[in-house]
Amino acid sequence: MSSREFARWYWLKEELGPFACSLGIRATGSKEAIAARISAALDGKPAPREVSTRRSSSPQLSGPLSESTVVPTGQRCSQVLRAWFSARLGDQFRFDGPMRDFFAAADGTTTLGDAERVWHETRDRGPDEIGGQFELNRFTRHWHEQNPGGSREQLMRAWAAYRDTPMDVRGKISATVTSSVRGDHADR
C-alpha cells in the first residue's frame, strides 16, 4: 500500500497500532503521530521527528482560591479549578476552548478573575470548531444539523458508511446515508 492510498482512509487508533507493528515501527503515541510514522514507512522515508510534550513541573493552584489568585505559568485545567469555577458559575461550567486557551497562555500575570471574565465574554459564541483528530465528533455534529430528529442507530449507520468511504470521495456522500455499510475495510 502506498502512503497516498493509506491517507485516503479513516483509521481508528486501534487499527493503526497493529499496522505499525507489522511494518516494524513504533506503535505508541497519538493517532496523528502513529499515522505519520506509517505514512513515512510506506514511502520508505525516515519517521518524522517528534516533539516532546513533557508536562510542566511548575506548581499548580490548590487550597483557597479567589478572584485575585494569580494563575501560574503551566497551570493545568485541574479538578481544583473545576470545583472553584463550578461553585461560582454553576454546573454548566466546562473547560471549553476559550478557557483551555486562557490557561495555556497563562504567564503568571493573569488571575482567576480574568479567567471568569473570559468565561462570561465567550458564552454567546457559536459552537467551537471540532479539531481534525475528532472526526467522529465533527461528523456527529454535522449529521445532527442535517438530521435533527435522527436516531443514534441512524447516525452510527451513516458514520460507518462515511468511514468506509475513501476521503477523496466523501464530498460526494450525503450525511444522511444510512445504508450500504461495508464495515470490513476489505478493499484497503
The verdict on residue 179 lying in a domain is: no
**Overall number of domains in the chain:** 3
| Class of residue 37 by CB neighbours under 10 A (exposed 0-12, middle 13-18, buried 19+) | buried
The verdict on residue 181 lying in a domain is: no
Same domain, 33 and 76: no
- Give the pLDDT of the chain (188 residues) as one tens digit per residue: 999 999 999 999 999 999 999 999 999 999 999 999 999 999 999 888 877 665 557 789 998 999 999 999 999 999 999 999 999 999 999 998 899 999 999 999 999 999 999 999 998 887 777 777 778 888 899 999 999 999 999 999 999 999 899 988 886 444 444 333 333 343 44
Cα angle 6, 7, 13 (rounded to 5 degrees) comes to: 80
The verdict on residue 53 lying in a domain is: no
Same domain, 143 and 106: no
Instruction: Give the Å distances, CA to CA, from 45 to 24, 121, 122, 148.
Output: 13, 47, 44, 46
pLDDT of residue 64: 93
The verdict on residue 79 lying in a domain is: yes
Q: What are the helix (H) ranges across the chain?
A: 3-7, 13-22, 31-42, 79-89, 97-105, 112-121, 135-146, 152-163
Same domain, 140 and 112: no
The verdict on residue 60 lying in a domain is: no
Same domain, 36 and 74: no
Same domain, 108 and 147: no
pLDDT of residue 108: 92
pLDDT of residue 176: 41
Same domain, 74 and 107: yes
Q: What are the helix (H) ranges across 54-110?
A: 79-89, 97-105
The verdict on residue 48 lying in a domain is: no
Same domain, 117 and 74: yes
Structural domain boundaries, residue 90: 70-121
The verdict on residue 130 lying in a domain is: no
Q: Taking the CA of residue 35 as centre, how many other CA atoms within 13 Å lie in the half-sphere pointing to its CB?
A: 16
Model pTM above 0.85: no
CA dist., res. 175 & res. 139, Å (int): 8
The verdict on residue 35 lying in a domain is: yes
Same domain, 144 and 116: no
